Amino acid sequence: MYLSSVILAFLASKALSYDTSLGFNTPQANEDRTIDEIYQAALAEGGVVTCWHGGDEVTQQDGLKRAFETRFPGMTLNITVNRSKYHSVNVDRQLARSGGGPLDVDTIILQALQDYPRWDAQGALL
């Protein structure tokens, strides 16, 4: 069940990331598509999900990648594992560069909880 929720989050973020009418400072939209509808939309958009994941070992999330790509044939999960503090710096750089606009990554899984209140105050969270 947990893995299904994670996969749904990946696909939803991928589908929403290509919608140019959405921005970080807009109200959150409720997703009402099924997982299969999101999957088909993601395939139509190129089938690639980019994820930054906090961790210590580059291969730490290989199991997640295999599970995702098995469950969603034709999709590619590009997952970069690095320490959360380094991903946080990359988020800050991209937010500064884009003026708070969309990031170059579809989903980020971090352990750096101290960054979330600041990003929320900046209007950078969905």
Among 3-7, 90-94, 104-108, 121-125, whose mean pLDDT is lowest?
3-7
**Domain range summary for the chain, segments of one domain joined by +:** 2-22+32-121
Residue 34 main-chain phi, psi, to 5 deg: -75, 165
Question: At residue 12, does pLDDT exceed 60?
Answer: no
pLDDT of residue 74: 97
The per-residue pLDDT for range 74-89, each reduced to its tens digit, is: 999 999 887 877 777 7
pLDDT > 50? residue 54: yes
Q: How far apart are CA 14 and CA 16, in angstroms?
A: 5
pLDDT of residue 39: 94
Looking at residue 108, its pLDDT comes to 83
